[in-house]
Amino acid sequence: MQKDTVLLAHDSQGHISKPWVAIIKDITRMQNGNIMVSAQWFYRPSDIFIGKYMKSFDTRDLFYSFHKDEVHAETIMHKCIIHFITEKSHIPRRKKYPGFIVQKVYNPDTKRLIELTNKDFLPDMKDEINNLVQKTMSHLGIVSAIESTDGNLN
């Protein structure tokens, strides 16, 4: 279950709202018996305020982030599929490859969107993104035409 991408239920003050999306980073049993999950969040365009709230052109759009929180394991609804697609790659067709699409990283502290291929990420962040993109490309059967000679994504 660790490293799975999942939908998480939440109650927005009695209103039905879209589930949160996260990657499970760790699972911990607390002394009181509760099971907690370290969740690394994805953001929907409608969650992001950059001078104004963003609008999505595709309901599959998500933004990756390095923001993590602890949540109760009971909030996990089920697994979901997320495709990490660089801006130079084609977005897979919904019918053949259902799931969410990530093309950018959102930094909630600076309120900035950053391309997946940005060179300014810290090395461990860059490695994490590269691994997620390569996993998607392998799953979709795409040979990377954008890989540079040093093995990093362009």
**Residue-wise pLDDT tens digits, 88-146:** 777 878 888 889 999 999 998 888 899 999 988 999 999 999 999 999 888 887 655 44
* The two three-digit tokens of residue 5, written as one number: 């991408």
The verdict on residue 152 lying in a domain is no
The verdict on residue 20 lying in a domain is yes
Task: Give the mean pLDDT of 24-47.
Answer: 93
What is the number of domains present in the chain?
1
Whether the Cβ atoms of residue 54 and residue 48 lie closer than 8 Å to each other: yes
DSSP state of 143: -
* Percent of the chain clearing pLDDT 70 (strictly above): 81
For residue 33, pLDDT beyond 80? yes
The verdict on residue 34 lying in a domain is yes
End-to-end CA distance of the chain: 31
pLDDT of residue 16: 64
Q: What is the CATH number of the domain that holds 112?
A: 2.30.30.490
* Domain residue limits at 34: 5-140
The pTM assigned to this predicted structure is 0.81
pLDDT of residue 8: 93
CA distance 145 to 27: 36
